Amino acid sequence: MDLSTVSHEPPGYACPFCVIEPEFTAWREEQVFVRISKHWDPAGPGHALVIPTTHYENIYALPDDVAARIARMVRLVATAMRRRYPCDGVTVRQNNEPAGGQDVWHLHTHVAPRHSDRRNTTFTRADDAERARYAIILRRSLEALV
């Protein structure tokens, strides 16, 4: 079985990550961009997504050069969060296929701030003003790193 052809996208799928949302985008390069998620745990706001600019549904279809750019950006986002967010660590997660927890059919990697004194378990819809504010915070921190 060629896993690079495995697809769970429904017919006519309108990909939310193929739409540019500049007010929530913390960083953009040729192959990847970083967007503040619309869902985050109130105990750890500022959850970011590292997303390839080209639409790849899952990790099986991802070219090696794009995978390398994503890995680099995930490391930079994690470092930027630890430097500028009030957090004690980060969680990095990438889901594939429904059984793996994927529910958006465009590959993306989650980078979420974590706190040693708080449990991060309940995700809610983030306020757009807060998302935009965190995009600026993360952008400034990334600019200092790159």
| % of the chain beyond a pLDDT of 70 | 98
3-state secondary structure the chain: CCHHHCCCCCCCCCCCCCCCCHHHEEEECCCEEEEECCEECCCCCCCEEEEECCCCCCHHHCCHHHHHHHHHHHHHHHHHHHHHCCCCEEEEECCCCHHHCCCCCCCCEEEEEECCCCCCCCCEECCHHHHHHHHHHHHHHHHHHC
- Alpha-carbon distance values, 2 to 10, 16, 64, 73 (Å): 19, 26, 16, 28
Quote the CA–CA distance of 113 and 15 in Å, as a whole number: 25
Question: Which pLDDT does position 113 carry in this prediction?
Answer: 93
20-44 average pLDDT score: 92
In 3D space, the residue among 96, 15, 1 whose CA is nearest the CA of residue 53 turns out to be 15
Predicted structure pTM score:
0.94
Judge whether residue 43 has pLDDT over 90: no
| % of the chain beyond a pLDDT of 90 | 80
Q: Which tokens is 52 given?
A: 């390839």
Question: Which pLDDT does position 120 carry in this prediction?
Answer: 64
Q: Which tokens is 111 given?
A: 């980078």
Judge whether residue 44 has pLDDT over 80: no
Question: Could you report the per-residue pLDDT of 96-112, keeping only the tens digit for each?
Answer: 999 999 999 999 999 99
Question: Could you report the per-residue pLDDT of 113-138, keeping only the tens digit for each?
Answer: 998 887 766 778 889 999 999 999 99
